[in-house]
Amino acid sequence: MVNIIKVDSEELSNKIDEHHKIGGALRVSVFEIKENYLGQVPDEYTAHLVTARQTLEKENYEWNFHCNKIAGKSQHDSLPFAMTNYNKLDTSGQKITLQHFLGPHYDLQNNKPTIRGQLGNETFNSYFYYDQIESLENKVDINKIIQDFCNLYPDEAGYFIYALMEPPHDLSLGKEIRKRGEYVLGFLDYFFDDLNEITIYSWDTNCSIIFDPGNEWWGSYFWTVYNPTKKWHIGIIASTTD
């Protein structure tokens, strides 16, 4: 038996609500795992698995609740019901490195995110360090960076910064890449504290129908992160479409 408790604080709720209000696609759940009545704590994999299970059950519930709200009587039987396939989930946890997790849109060596251009057609499909002027002479070679990343990590277990900052509909953060980069750094600092101390697992995204929308094209992501500074076990799900 694992003693897992949802972290419930106004500050945390406000941080998550802020992400949703600006159009973010991440669904974040935060838990603490404490000793059970026998004085036992789970090993690392089990702690991440229980976090994954709790996170997914919450999102399954939200999916089904939404479907029940919009369903007419005649439609109800045809609506998909979300439930967890534990056979797929339970053994799928893959421990990944920080670089793998963050993805190609974060320069770990310089601790800087790269941000898609915002000022018009000339720079829109280019990427820039958030603290530089958005001009063509400052663009980073994102295609090479992504190719190098894919050669190193051929699966799709990473891409957190992409999922955070590039949902199908643009985030309402204005047109300044600096402001967007500062949002990234603030998010990382609040939820993860010391990036070099966190442990990350990636999970199968075929274990529930809630991941089907993202599988159309944008992507489906499922991570658990342990932040030892706050003793937070964090579940992160992202799967959406336009």
- Average pLDDT of the chain? 93
Domain of 211, in residue numbers: 3-239
Cα gap 92→90, rounded to integer Å: 6
For the chain, what percent of residues have pLDDT higher than 70?
A: 96
∠ CA 164-86-228 to the nearest 5 degrees? 50
Q: What is the pLDDT of residue 72?
A: 61
Q: What is the pLDDT of residue 122?
A: 81
Q: What is the pLDDT of residue 73?
A: 54
- Across the beta sheet with 106-107, what order do the strands follow? 106-107, 112-116, 127-129
DSSP string, 160-201: HHHHHH--SS--SS-S-HHHHHHHHHHHHHHHHSSGGG-EEE
Average pLDDT over residues 95-108: 97
Q: What is the pLDDT of residue 76?
A: 52
Average pLDDT over residues 84-104: 97
pLDDT tens-digit readout, 158-200? 999 999 999 998 899 999 999 999 999 999 999 999 999 999 9
Q: pTM for the complete prediction?
A: 0.93
Average pLDDT over residues 62-91: 79
Contact 129, 138 (CB under 8 A): yes
Domain count, the chain: 1
* Strands 106-107 and 112-116, sheet pairing: antiparallel
Average pLDDT over residues 147-152: 96
Please, which pLDDT band fits residue 77 given cuts at 50, 70 and 90?
low
The DSSP secondary-structure symbol of 6 reads E
